[in-house]
Amino acid sequence: MRIAVSLAAGLAILAGVLHAQSDDDEDEMDYFPLVPSGNHLRFGLHSVGGPKVAFGQLGSVPSGASVGDATSLMSRTYSDGYVAFDARKDPNGNPVGDGLTNTWNFQYSSQATADGDLAFHDYSATTLGASERARSNSSAGWEMQIGRSLGKIGRKVDFSVVGAFSFTNINAKTSGVVQGLLTTVTDVYPLYGQDVPTAPYTAPTSVAQNVYDANGNQVLDVNGNGQTTLVDNSTMLGNQPNRTTTTSVADVKGSWQIKGAYYTFKIGPMLQIPLTERIKFSMGAGAALALVGTRYIVDETLVVDDVNGTELTTSGEQSRFVMLPLYYANADAEYWLTERAGFYLGVNGQKSGSYDQSVGGRTATINLGTTYGVQSGITLRF
């Protein structure tokens, strides 16, 4: 867009110079030709209505944990802690294998059950088919057009064929709260009568103890200080969970965006009709091909109704490029500063189709549809 503005400014300066030159030659030229002849070049900025976007299948937030099945001996992670393999070894270096583990973590005191055990949770949400709609207010861009006069219709109307290349941005975004199907996996691990540690708690833990010889005397180091050793004093947790799975409806906060642009290649006829020596009216229509490139950007947060205020967030992005046919029409008023340079201001309309895009199971239908807008810029002939 900066390039477009800079080029437009340069063309404006050029038009001013040509206008100044025409004032110097005012005695030699009393009027401007009624219609342009030969080639013409236009450069301008435009604004058109943005596409309509329908977002669908919203509200899917995958689990961030790894719980596996409930019967295997394995390490598991949860949204509020983890339970890993026991790190203890017997005197021969083999796993202790007593059904307990000293390697685990829990986060909240609310995880303690009425029976004095500990519950760990995994959350995820799948879509209930929720949808949202968005439409960008306007899409700005620029256009370069070149035309060739093919002759006149009647005495004054000039008939030209034009080709154009344009750029238009796309930015459609919405946000809100939708509902998803919440699945809660609850694994309860036994403490076998031990006190529940103060949350948050991470095991293994250890404590320093004095080292004694066979006679009950404390062993000293070379400096005469008593030797100590670290002894595991972890609260032991059973390594096999009792699992329950429940489902409910939960809120999913999200934002969904289609962002990108399309390049358009146009060709069609144009008529230019003189109204005064300096003012002309032009109108044109034709067919075009649009190369559209967009990114579908998703951010969703699952809100779990528990005492810990648990929230799980997911995000995703996917790009797509498509080719769409397009039809256009425009009408402009031209004001000529000199016989070769002027400005134009007008309205435009275009009609195109739609296409689909998806990311992580969520869908988006982007409909460029029928849109209208305004355009202005500089026109030169040569």
Choose among 269, 273, 268: nearest CA to 157. Answer: 273
Choose among 89, 24, 38: nearest CA to 340. Answer: 38
CATH number of 2-61+126-181+250-381: 2.40.160
- pLDDT digit string (tens) for 223-281? 878 776 778 899 999 999 999 999 999 999 999 999 999 999 999 999 999 999 899 99
Choose among 250, 242, 249, 245: nearest CA to 310. Answer: 250
Q: How far apart are CA 338 and CA 64, in angstroms?
A: 68
- pLDDT digit string (tens) for 181-203? 999 999 999 999 999 999 999 99
Sketch the domain layout of the chain as residue ranges. 2-61+126-181+250-381, 76-125+188-246
Beta strands 100-101 and 157-189: pairing type?
Answer: unpaired
Mean pLDDT of 317-325: 97
What are the backbone angles phi and psi of residue 16, rounded to the nearest 5°? -65, -40
Structural tokens at position 86: 């026991």
- pLDDT of residue 314 exceeding 90: yes
Give the pLDDT band of residue 114 (cuts 50, 70, 90): very high
pTM over 0.85: no
Q: How far apart are CA 120 and CA 111, in angstroms?
A: 7
Give the pLDDT band of residue 5 (cuts 50, 70, 90): very low
What pLDDT score was predicted for residue 16?
A: 47
Choose among 76, 60, 47, 178: nearest CA to 124. Answer: 60
